[in-house]
Amino acid sequence: MGQFRVDTTEDAAEALAHAESFLFRRPVEHNLVLSILNQRLAHFEPGRYWVVRNHGEVNGFALRSPLTFAATVTPMAAPAIAALVDTVVADAPDLPGISGEAGTVAAFAGYWAERARVCAQPLEAQRLYKLDGAPNARPAPGSLRLARVADADVLVEWSKDFQAEIGLPHPGDIAEVTRRRILGARLWVWEDQDDQPVSAAGATGAVAGVTRVNFVYTPPEHRRQGYASACVSALSAHLRVAEANTCVLYAQLTNPTSNGVYCSIGYRPVIEVLLYRFGRRGLRLDEQAPAGGR
């Protein structure tokens, strides 16, 4: 089984220094963790980070930031998961949930229910997709452009609607995060022929050659006209030329339309992802402590 040790830190820079080489080995599967760490270095947010070692070699990593959110864990083997749970139970007994690769978090949830003596229930299933080649063009009237400060009010409202639709809380103040993304050139809109925004998408900065498309949203009155498909296709093409070799994105498995759209663009599945909640049976996750995507 090996000799497992789990080190805990509240310093994102220290966590990255210890785990970077491990995380870079699988930059697609580890992109969410890497991008969160980079965000914490750029904009401080309290967090807790766990580095799992076997005979001194890092072979697992988990983080919880913000501290009211569920933890996110990298794929790892069962003995490493068991050691991680032992440490997290002591460090964060109020942990509201866990998210990550389906097999890993199912095992984590099982150990957690046994050792913390609380209910563990699956809350949401997603699929991680990646795009390694040129995306398939998805024609629609209009064109892609970077979001501007003048778009902020519209995009803040769209962000609120987006979070309400996916059923998970937003990690931070929506208005502040939206304006930060605009100023950082991380949000794009699709304009129709009348130069009106009709769809939007964002992207994280590239880490280890991988960038993640996120916040893909079209308001209801503009749906079923191909705007989201065109927006994601055009943005993915731009990102692969300007920033990264590989684009990734997550799609909720409860939304077959989005999964089909991403596959038609050229995205291919990598892993399934689960979010588990911990606590009293029947209690909503956001009633104990929020957990959600970034």
Q: Does a structural domain hold residue 29?
A: yes
Q: Does a structural domain hold residue 230?
A: yes
Which residues have CB under 8 Å from 282's CB, separation 6+?
none
Q: Is the pLDDT of residue 288 over 80?
A: no
As beta bridge partners, residue 8 has 50
Q: Does a structural domain hold residue 105?
A: yes
Whole-number average pLDDT of the chain: 92
* Model pLDDT, residue 138: 87
Q: Is the pLDDT of residue 1 over 60?
A: no
pLDDT single digits (tens) 148-206: 999 999 999 999 999 888 876 666 789 999 999 999 999 999 999 999 999 999 999 99
Q: Does a structural domain hold residue 294?
A: no
pLDDT single digits (tens) 126-142: 999 999 999 999 889 99
The residue segments making up the domain with residue 191 are 134-265
Between 78-91 and 102-116, two packed helices, what is the crossing angle to 10 degrees? 50
The residue-averaged pLDDT of 28-54 equals 96
Would you place residue 282 in the very low, low, confident or very high pLDDT band (cuts 50, 70, 90)? very low
- Same domain, residue pair 110 and 199: no
Length reported for the chain: 294
What distance in Å separates the CA atoms of residue 47 and residue 11, rounded to the nearest whole number?
A: 8
CA dihedral 247, 253, 257, 258 (to 10 degrees): -20
User: Is 292:172 a contact under the CB 8 Å cutoff?
Assistant: no
pLDDT single digits (tens) 70-113: 999 999 999 999 999 999 999 999 999 999 999 999 999 999 99
- Same domain, residue pair 160 and 250: yes
What distance in Å separates the CA atoms of residue 5 and residue 220, rounded to the nearest whole number?
A: 49
The residue-averaged pLDDT of 265-277 equals 97
- Same domain, residue pair 69 and 50: yes
Q: Does a structural domain hold residue 283?
A: yes
Tally of domains in the chain = 2
Q: Does a structural domain hold residue 201?
A: yes
Q: Is the pLDDT of residue 294 over 90?
A: no
Q: Does a structural domain hold residue 46?
A: yes
- Same domain, residue pair 179 and 216: yes
- Same domain, residue pair 101 and 198: no
| Amino acid letter for position 142 | G
More confident residue, 1 or 150: 150
